[in-house]
Amino acid sequence: MNDRYSRQVLFQPIGQEGQRKIQEKHVLILGCGALGSANAENLARAGIGKLTIIDRDYVESSNLQRQLLFSEKDAIEQLPKVIAAKNRLKQINSAVEIDAHIMDATANTLVRLLNEVDLVIDATDNFDIRFIMNDLFQQQSIPWIYGSCVGSTGMSYTILPDQTPCLQCLLSAAPPSGATCDSVGIISPAVQMVVAHQTTEALKLLVEDADALRSRLLTFDLWNNHYQTINVDKAKRGDCSSCGSDPSYSYLTYESQTKTEILCGRETVQIRAGREFNLEELASRLEKSGPVKTNTFIVSFEYKALRFVFFRDGRTLIHGTDSIEKAKSVYYQLIG
């Protein structure tokens, strides 16, 4: 074992054998914002064998306060988050295999990426996607680590198929507040606290130290000095549609029907076209109506007080409205 990981190897619960296991494992991180980018950096520095990172968004200046992998240059160039993250991660540890995907997470797109995945880290801010994850990873028997944060609060829980309550069980017992970073803000230390717990649980799973796993739901409020762990064993439901005795995995069919959605708290609508865009051709066409900004991955265009960001995979983010009807109306004027 080279000197790079010597301090981690000296930590007795990991040791030489644990380090070898870490370097043989594959982790998928769903979301590459605050939680995802920090978890990715921690795992890359720890020597993970392979990281698959998935995100549908691009870097904006408002991300820089808490999303530690990104720079001002990334925001100016509007780089997709997974591309900016991959660039930085390869500088941190060139030995890590990084598979980056600019895409919307759906049941169909995710299932194709789960081959030989040992663990998934939840770093999304969207509960529709989390419920899809919950169904899919129960179906595929893949452990995953839930994490969320807003304001100065956060929570984390490790979900083990066939052993622990699943996310649907947990949220049936304790529904989320509905607050988002875009509505009430967030401080960076809250992100780092969730990440510390997620990465630590990940390392326990990667070195196969099941006895050390935290079995309780963790919650905290840094500003108000609250820290709590809750026994949620009784939340597991025998009739749960995800982890019960006769699961139906209903969210795996639901998402495939969703083509348009409002991004919570962001005054942004996403439209999925169901076909790829030829970005070069699209940019040339849009230039007749106004200034266009492009890079290899997106076309950005302002029109009628709205900002459109087109991705090659057929998605469009329409900033400046939370009205699906208005967004679709202007979208069809531009795209047909």
- pLDDT tens digit sequence for 218-228: 999 999 999 99
For residues 296 and 201, membership in a common domain is answered with no
Whole-number Å distance between alpha carbons of 124 and 148: 8
Q: What is the dihedral of CA 139, 229, 264, 57, to 10 degrees?
A: -70
Given 206, 221, 253, the domain boundary residue is 253
If you count them, how many residues does the chain have? 336
Q: Which of 216, 313, 234, 207 is nearest to 270 (CA)?
A: 313
How many independent structural domains does the chain possess? 2
For residues 281 and 172, membership in a common domain is answered with no
pTM: 0.83
For residues 163 and 277, membership in a common domain is answered with no
**Any idea what DSSP says for residue 313?**
T
- pLDDT tens digit sequence for 168-222: 998 876 666 555 666 578 999 999 999 999 999 999 999 999 999 999 999 999 9
Q: Which of 108, 107, 109, 104 is nearest to 82 (CA)?
A: 104
For residues 276 and 135, membership in a common domain is answered with no
For residues 27 and 94, membership in a common domain is answered with yes
Whole-number Å distance between alpha carbons of 325 and 303: 16
Q: At 317, which CATH number?
A: 3.30.310.10
The answer to whether the beta carbons of residues 95 and 114 sit under 8 Å apart is: no
Range of the domain at 167: 3-253
Q: Which of 184, 75, 46, 166 is nearest to 125 (CA)?
A: 184
pLDDT value of position 16 = 97
Q: Which residue has the higher pLDDT, 262 or 296?
A: 296
For residues 292 and 327, membership in a common domain is answered with yes
The answer to whether the beta carbons of residues 150 and 180 sit under 8 Å apart is: yes
Whole-number Å distance between alpha carbons of 190 and 176: 17
For residues 72 and 145, membership in a common domain is answered with yes
For residues 104 and 233, membership in a common domain is answered with yes
Backbone dihedral region of 290: left (phi > 0), alpha (psi from -120 to 50 degrees) or beta? Answer: left
* Mean of pLDDT values over 279-293: 88
Given 253, 286, 320, the domain boundary residue is 253
- For residue 294, pLDDT over 60 is answered with yes
pLDDT band at 263 (very low <50, low <70, confident <90, very high): confident
For residues 74 and 159, membership in a common domain is answered with yes
pLDDT value of position 136 = 95
Given 200, 226, 253, the domain boundary residue is 253
For residues 295 and 165, membership in a common domain is answered with no
For residues 230 and 272, membership in a common domain is answered with no
For residues 90 and 142, membership in a common domain is answered with yes
Q: Which of 187, 304, 173, 326 is nearest to 260 (CA)?
A: 326
The answer to whether the beta carbons of residues 153 and 221 sit under 8 Å apart is: yes
Q: At 85, which CATH number?
A: 3.40.50.720
- pLDDT tens digit sequence for 19-74: 999 999 999 999 999 999 999 999 999 999 999 999 989 999 999 999 999 999 99
pLDDT band at 256 (very low <50, low <70, confident <90, very high): very low
Whole-number Å distance between alpha carbons of 102 and 54: 6
